[in-house]
């Protein structure tokens, strides 16, 4: 088939479109930071690691595992958008941050984003046993008594699912969900297309409050749910907070809303007042 005459069969703006010749085109460009794209050993997952400028000699720092958003289909741990944000997060919180890269849908196998994120956290976990992991920074600085997993949008969804799955040598101190993507309560066209073998909007990975007994087994001590007032995903974030608070889970869940803002607004203007307030709230949560 002539690629110039290919017809669009599925269109999911602003993420990707699919053509009848099998071609997939991202409709929103991701600008990568070339200096982050350094070759890594084949045994290591793709990660970008950040260390604050001031570190006490021999001191341990909170460890944040960060999972980027982008509807499971765009963006990267190596994009300029996330690079600048994670720099701010590491600096302001005084934490070492491991930002995870994962294969994107729909080019890659269904649910690869969960498999890759789990493998990356297991790799981080390999440093928790007497500091014998392959990365020097994690060995030297990461405090495995203070491990947080955080993400925005699709990354928040993945973060929740990593804590639910568990199986790590450390216990998460906290889960930070920033504008989490848990669907909108109706069939979700993007999810249904990239995950056709799941049960759609009732799938527990997309809608974790559908099984409160399972939700009550969340493997962390504290949760922070952050939403934006003008985000169509806001209600699912609020619902997650309310349902978790009323389960038998023994932890503490907190809620923070930025009124008048849209989905992941903070990534596009780090210096505006609302972005600063959101980052401050996250930092305070990490500091406990």
- Provide the pLDDT confidence category of residue 42 given band limits of 50, 70 and 90: very low
Order of strands across the sheet that contains 24-26: 8-12, 16-19, 24-26
Q: Tell me the DSSP string of 250-287.
A: -SEEEEEEETT--TTGGGT-TTSHHHHHHHHHHHHHHH
**22 and 160 assigned to the same domain:** no
**8 and 96 assigned to the same domain:** no
**128 and 256 assigned to the same domain:** yes
CA–CA gap between residue 179 and residue 212 (Å, rounded): 21
What is the pLDDT at residue 22?
66
Over pLDDT 90: what percentage of the chain?
A: 69
**1 and 91 assigned to the same domain:** no
pLDDT at 44 over 70: no
What is the pLDDT at residue 4?
61
**12 and 106 assigned to the same domain:** no
Mean pLDDT confidence for 97-112: 90
**215 and 277 assigned to the same domain:** yes
**7 and 78 assigned to the same domain:** no
pLDDT at 2 over 70: no
What is the pLDDT at residue 113?
94
3-state helix, strand, coil in the chain (%, to 5): 35, 20, 45
**59 and 194 assigned to the same domain:** yes
Catalytic residue ranges: 153, 231, 263
Contact 163/175 with Cβ under 8 angstroms? Answer: yes
What is the pLDDT at residue 1?
42
**20 and 78 assigned to the same domain:** no
Q: What's the domain range around 24? A: 1-30
**53 and 85 assigned to the same domain:** yes
**Nearest one of 105, 101, 116, 124 to 38, comparing CA atoms:** 101
CATH code, domain with 222? 3.40.50.1820
Between 223 and 40, where is the model more confident?
A: 223
Contact 156/181 with Cβ under 8 angstroms? Answer: yes
pLDDT in tens, 203-246: 899 999 999 999 999 999 999 999 999 999 999 999 999 999 99
pLDDT in tens, 47-65: 999 999 876 555 899 999 9
CA–CA gap between residue 2 and residue 10 (Å, rounded): 18
**What's the total number of domains in the chain?**
2
- Provide the pLDDT confidence category of residue 31 given band limits of 50, 70 and 90: low
Mean pLDDT confidence for 272-277: 98
What is the pLDDT at residue 166?
94
**48 and 145 assigned to the same domain:** yes
**9 and 110 assigned to the same domain:** no
A 10 A CB-CB count for 237 gives 23
């Amino acid at each position: 088939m002539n690629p110039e005459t290919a017809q669009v069969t599925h269109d999911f703006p602003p993420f990707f479109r699919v053509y009848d010749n099998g071609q997939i085109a991202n409709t929103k460009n991701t600008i990568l930071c070339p200096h982050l794209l350094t070759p890594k050993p084949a045994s290591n997952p793709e990660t970008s690691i950040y260390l604050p400028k001031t570190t006490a000699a021999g001191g341990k720092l909170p460890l944040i595992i960060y999972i980027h958003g982008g509807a499971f289909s765009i963006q990267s741990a190596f994009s300029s958008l996330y690079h600048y944000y994670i720099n701010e997060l590491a600096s302001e919180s005084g934490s070492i941050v491991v930002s995870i890269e994962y294969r994107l849908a729909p080019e890659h196998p269904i649910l690869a984003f969960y498999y890759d994120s789990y493998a990356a956290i297991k790799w981080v976990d390999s440093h928790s046993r007497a500091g014998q992991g392959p990365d020097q920074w994690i060995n030297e600085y990461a405090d495995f008594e203070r491990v947080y997993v955080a993400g925005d949008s699709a990354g928040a969804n993945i973060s929740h699912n990593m804590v639910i799955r568990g199986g790590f040598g450390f216990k998460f101190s906290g889960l930070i969900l920033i504008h989490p993507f848990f669907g909108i309560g109706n069939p979700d066209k993007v999810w249904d297309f990239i995950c056709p073998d799941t049960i759609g909007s009732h799938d527990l990975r997309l809608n974790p409050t559908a099984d409160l007994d399972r939700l009550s087994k969340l493997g962390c001590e504290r949760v922070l749910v952050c939403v934006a007032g003008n985000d169509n995903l806001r209600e699912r974030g609020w619902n997650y907070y309310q349902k978790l608070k009323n389960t038998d889970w023994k932890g503490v869940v907190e809620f923070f809303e930025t009124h008048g803002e849209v989905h992941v607004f903070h990534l596009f203007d780090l210096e505006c007042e609302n972005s600063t307030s959101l980052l401050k709230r996250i930092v305070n949560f990490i500091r406990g």
